Chain A
Amino acid sequence: MKFLHHIALILSVSFLPLLLVSCVTEDTQTNSVNGNFQALWQILDEHYCFFPEKSDVYGLNWNDEYTYYKERLSPTMTDEQLFDVCARMLRDLRDGHVNLSSSFNTARFWDWYEKYPANFSDSIQRLYLGTDYYLTGGIKYRILDDNIGYIYCSSFNNTFGSGNLSAIFSKLAICNGVIVDVRNNEGGMLTSAQALAECFTNQVITGGYICHKTGKGHSEFSSPEAIKLTPATGVRWQKKVVVLTNRRCYSAANSFVMYMKACPNVTVMGAQTGGGGGLPFSSELPNGWALRFSACPMYDKDMNPTEFGIEPDVSINMTQLDMARNVDTIIEAARSFLKK
């Protein structure tokens, strides 16, 4: 029993320092003009993943941004005025994945496509698709009259099952080549983009790399890990493929193009993609405004950043003359390429 007494004494002394341990809390800002601005700047300072790239390409200095916009605050300013200051600071990041959402407005940066030619007309594309196209998992597809398969994927918000994808490529199996059009696809689920890309490889390949922040510093990142594309279990495409892109290919669609560039027999045609090579996370300010920002940077198979977009193999723009004749210049170039 003396032994137990000693054990109890040792335990008592051992845990006395615990009395000094405090509660685990986060140093949050107050719900005020200064507090909300400070919270916005600090969340991005600690979590945003593209400060090194934006500094190199645009000369962005996040500390200077704080100083510049802090001077534009006034304790008496309205919510809309505060939102405007915050929105202007966020625009300087030049990132389509950065949004601030309030009940009355959403701050955004859409220059990645708004300042460039559209290179897509849904009214012209409708003439190619017709009305009797096939539709599965949100993907529209048909065989064009020159025996070229045409697939239009407008979004990766849908989950593509193996059955959906096998049905598409079984139907197009008789074609001489296939066009995968992801123009105006603004993203969705990375898993869907990966599932579609895996229909174009017969072996495990590296489609790109991804990493994440490991601390609050601007350069604290994990080692990049390979994103492996494993061959789809259903029907896989073995002939030539052309992927059509424009500036409005963003986020998961940008990643799809990145994956496809690693696959064999693939040619990317059209315009540079819009980018969005960072997996976005969400957070919020003390006043309830929702914040979205890029958190996990992605790189292509050669470790080039994809945040600023991916160059096509063949650069083509839609011409005014073709558009006047209801001809899609980029689709026609892809058909010519596949018929060679």
Chain B
Amino acid sequence: MFMKIFKILLFLFLCISPFVAAQEKPDSIPAWTQDNSFRTHATMFGIGHLNILDTYLSPEEYTGTQFKLMRENMRMTRLLNNRISVQNIIQGHFAYTKSPTEDGKQLSGMFGWNLTWHYNWSITPALHILLGPGMSINGGFTYNTRNGNNPAQARLSTDLNLSAMAIYKLHFWNRIFTLRYQADMPVVGLMFSPNYGQSYYEIFSLGNYDHNVCFTNPFQAFSINQLLSFDIPIYGATLRIGYLGSIRQNQVNHLKQHDWSNLFIIGYVKHFYLIKNKNYHHSQIARK
């Protein structure tokens, strides 16, 4: 069911993206992007369900709770006539999962950094579409509490991504509410993986390499991160609530991995302007 919804959303995105580019007008740069000193910082906490499979550790799917902490920074740049924004996301998560019979337990942790450059279009004053490339680096582990010589799986990967975002601003009660949808998809990457039956003793104690750095692409295993958020202004602050869905999959060296997570997120957002030349601004204010 989840995959069907995802496929419909992806299909809609792929269908509209050419038209979005076609409708774009030179004078339609959103007002909030005119000033490249504008910054948006968001800190988010997520909690939800994780389904994890790693056939190096077990053929069974483990399920449990995942906790996530995310820090997002967005700012405009002067590139392409002030149309390029940069999004910087640093995130970490921890999960405790159990096998279907709850005899096996796994602990997993991951740290990731995403950097994305978006080209900005204004479809209407309220609707903005962003599309662009990005890169990400992820590192972490999955530890199975009852395995012997294959107790853990190290995770290390880097990807080049394609990212799309839609921002819609709603006006209620003289306040601006922001609805946002973002989808990030790795299109090519490298990841670490032991070979099919290779032990970590061979890799790290003996230093035996055997196809441990693997090329990844979406045609061997499809991955995507989706964030749907709603920003609510409350007494000068901005509260963010939303949904973060992640499908992370790999199929290398005859080993299969997937991390499917559905998280509820809550956080706060800060919008502000960066004053680069404090003395200049002060002198301008004094003249007025």
Contact = CB atoms under 8 A, between A and B. Distances in A.
A51 to B, nearest CB: 13
Interface in B2-24: 3, 7, 10-11, 14-15, 17-18, 20-22, 24
B55 interface: yes
Nearest to B208: A225
A212 B197 contact: yes
B149 A279 contact: yes
A12 B18 contact: yes
Interface in B199-238: 199, 201-202, 205-206, 208, 210, 218-219, 221-222
Contact of B146 (A17, A28, A290): A290
Contact of A222 (B53, B60, B210, B221): B210
A227 interface: yes
Interface stretch (A18-26, A60-68, A129-137): A18-26
A225 B21 CA distance: 55
B147 interface: yes
B196 A288 contact: no
Contact of A288 (B3, B104, B150, B250): B104
B201 A279 contact: yes
Nearest to A194: B205
A118 interface: no
A296 B22 contact: no
Contacts of A284: 58-60, 99, 103-104
A215 B55 CA distance: 13
Contact of B222 (A18, A222, A281, A287): A18
Given A215-B254, A290-B146, A283 B18 contact: no
Interface residues of B, number: 62
Contacts of B250: 24
B202 A24 contact: no
Interface of A: 1, 4-5, 7-9, 11-12, 15-19, 21-26, 28, 31, 39, 43, 47, 49, 190-191, 210, 212-216, 220, 222, 225, 227-228, 279-284, 286-290, 292, 295-296
A168 B275 CA distance: 68
Given A24-B250, A25-B258, A280 B7 contact: no
Given A31-B100, A225-B206, A24 B257 contact: yes
Contact of A21 (B144, B151, B195, B218): B218
B48 to A, nearest CB: 18
B52 to A, nearest CB: 12
Given A222-B210, A283-B58, A290-B103, A5 B21 contact: yes
Interface in B28-78: 53, 55, 58-61
B214 to A, nearest CB: 13
Contacts of A213: 196-197
Given A8-B21, A225-B208, A227-B206, A282 B148 contact: yes
Contact of B14 (A4, A12, A28, A292): A12
B279 interface: no
A47 B102 CA distance: 24
B222 to A, nearest CB: 4
B249 A24 contact: yes
B101 A31 contact: yes
Given A24-B258, A26-B59, A5 B219 contact: no
**Most chain B CB inside 10 Å of its own CB: which residue of A215, A283, A296:** A283
A28 B198 contact: no
A21 B260 CA distance: 15
Nearest to B14: A12
A18 B186 CA distance: 12
B202 A28 contact: no
Contacts of A190: 201, 205
A1 B24 contact: yes
B199 A295 contact: yes
B143 to A, nearest CB: 13
A287 B100 CA distance: 8
Give the top 7 A-B pairs by smallest Cβ distance, nearest first. Answer: A213-B197, A288-B103, A288-B101, A282-B147, A5-B21, A24-B249, A8-B21
Contact of B148 (A17, A228, A280): A280
A25 B11 CA distance: 23
Contacts of A212: 195-199, 202, 210
A23 to B, nearest CB: 6
Contact of A11 (B10, B17, B150, B206): B17
Nearest to B150: A281
A225 B205 CA distance: 12
A216 to B, nearest CB: 7
A242 B270 CA distance: 73
Contacts of A225: 202, 206, 208
A284 B98 CA distance: 13
Contacts of B119: 4
B256 A26 contact: yes
Nearest to A221: B197
B135 interface: no
A335 to B, nearest CB: 35
Contacts of B58: 283-284
15 contacts: A5-B22, A8-B21, A12-B18, A25-B53, A26-B256, A31-B100, A191-B205, A216-B196, A222-B198, A280-B148, A281-B150, A282-B146, A286-B101, A289-B103, A296-B198
Contacts of A279: 149, 199, 201
B197 A47 contact: yes
A9 B257 CA distance: 31
Contacts of B104: 284, 288, 290
B131 interface: yes
B251 interface: yes
Contact of B256 (A18, A21, A24): A24
Given A26-B55, A284-B99, A288-B104, 11 more contacts: A4-B21, A9-B18, A9-B21, A15-B187, A215-B196, A216-B196, A281-B148, A282-B146, A286-B100, A288-B99, A295-B150
